[in-house]
Structure 1
Amino acid sequence: MSPEEAARLRQTLHERGLRMTPQRQLVLDAVRELEHATPEQICQRVQRVTPTVNITTVYRTLELLEKLNLVRHTHLGHGAPSYSVEQHEHVHLVCHSCGRVDEAPCELLDDLARSLERGRGFRLDASHLALSGTCRDCVEAEEENQ
């Protein structure tokens, strides 16, 4: 995090009557380092530095950071959401065979988004979307085994 970003964050928290605690900073740092991570993975990373931080603190911190638009969550399948600090300007492609997560541009779903808006008045947020399927490596491995 740049010094300017850190100062903006402290100011935003201060305006809401909050402060940047060491635990909040550790959670934010862990999300940045891990890129796409579940709360449990984030907690494990934070506990390497501060073993007393518990999962409840991590969940509360993630909720606050998401309200501040500093992190975003995506459901990549069943189970806990995955958090990231990056703006999700991509669709997640989740391989149900190996668990690999790839990213594809949201524009790939533009036709679907237009069709949904025209036909149903529904505005698709493709950046919050995960598509399940089989990755190229698993498809090739399946074809070799046939």
Structure 2
Amino acid sequence: MSSDAPPLAEVLRANGLRMTAQRQLVLDAVAALGHATAEQVHEAICGKVAGVNITTVYRTLDLLETLNLVAHTHLSHGAPVYHLAGDRGHVHLVCHRCGAVDEVSPEVFGDLRRSLEEQRGFLLDVGHVALFGICSSCETVNR
């Protein structure tokens, strides 16, 4: 979450929900991992506390998404990845070779956005886009 976002306990209370350690652990794991599948979040939590199963992680991620604290996106044909909702509005750069994920501002589509609006009257909404290619690290290795 962004630094100006209210604490999880406050958001939960405002929605008539109670604070649990599992909810905080899931949110903390998403924040620490950046872009992570539910399974990766589960692995990160299991290293800290026992007894949190994958079903709890999925349910918690769904709840956190409903509360607009996390969001998910599909970066490939695999499982969706979760990230903090404050990270909305960026373009994912996904490496075909190593799977690394980087981010750039949606402004990279500025010219395309203007062109589509002028020529077609189409308002492009770039919330989350995944562009696939080869990252600079993998390209350097192959030179």
Instruction: Give the shorter-chain TM-score range.
Output: 0.7 to 0.9
Cross-structure match for 2:54: 55
Matched to 2:11, the amino acid is T
TM-score (norm 2): 0.82
| Stretches of 4+ aligned residues off by more than 6 angstroms | none
Q: Which has the higher helix share?
A: 1
Aligned 1:108-123 pairs, distance under 5 A: 108-117=108-117, 119=120, 121=122, 123=124
Q: Cα 1:121–1:89, aligned 2, differ >3 Å: closer, same or farther?
A: closer
Residues 17-72 of structure 1: CA deviation (Å, up to 9, x unaligned): 21111110110111111111111010011112222111111111111111111112
CA RMSD in angstroms, aligned pairs only: 2.3
Q: Matched residues, percent identical?
A: 54
8 Å Cα contact 1:73/1:128 also seen in 2: no
* Aligned residue pair count: 139
Query: Gaps spanning 5+ residues in structure 2: where?
Result: none
Show structure 1 runs of 5+ residues with no match. Answer: none
Once the two structures are superposed, the pairs formed by residues 34-49 of structure 1 within 5 Å of their partners are 34-49=33-48
Matched with 1:83 is 82
Equivalent in the alignment of 1:73: 72
Q: Residues 81-115 of structure 1, C-alpha deviation per residue, up to 9 Å, x if partnerless?
A: 11112423421100101212121121001223344
